[in-house]
Amino acid sequence: MQKIKELYFSYKEIVNYLIVGGLTTLVSLSVYYICVLTFLDPEAPVQLQIANIISWVAAVTFAFFTNRRFVFESSSDALMAEAGKFYAARLGTLLMDMGIMFISVSLLHMNDKVAKLMVQVIITVANYFLSKYLVFNKK
């Protein structure tokens, strides 16, 4: 048990980031499914995208507060500045996600499921470094 504790504290930030990321995914999926099972029709393209946007906003909001508190342990008084940088960074990685998916699936004809897994790894790493060095950097 002591060895596990030592490992955890050696990699605390990364372990917490992965846990928060899993919970963020759960928030995203839950909000999306609540939207499409209650008041939005996923068969209607615009409503499908509205559900997707609502779930993205909920997930990024959850991710901001949990990353701020449990991963990067920010105590900055500049909450709104951090939030602005966090949303901008996540919007940037969303665009990166869309671009890589377009290139890999539409242009290179990769399997979309394999491409999405590959992209998620890239995006997760990018989000971590953007959060660590741009959003919650401790000067």
Tens of each residue's pLDDT in the chain, 139 residues: 999 999 999 999 999 999 999 999 999 999 999 999 999 998 988 999 999 999 999 999 999 999 999 999 999 999 999 999 999 999 999 999 999 999 998 999 999 999 999 999 999 999 999 999 999 987 6
Distance CA 53, CA 76 (A): 28
First to last CA, the chain: 34
Which alpha helices (H) appear in 1-43, and where do they start and end? Answer: 2-10, 12-38
Q: Is the dihedral of CA 30, 123, 90, 96 positive or negative?
A: negative
Distance CA 43, CA 7 (A): 47
Strand, coil or helix: 78: coil
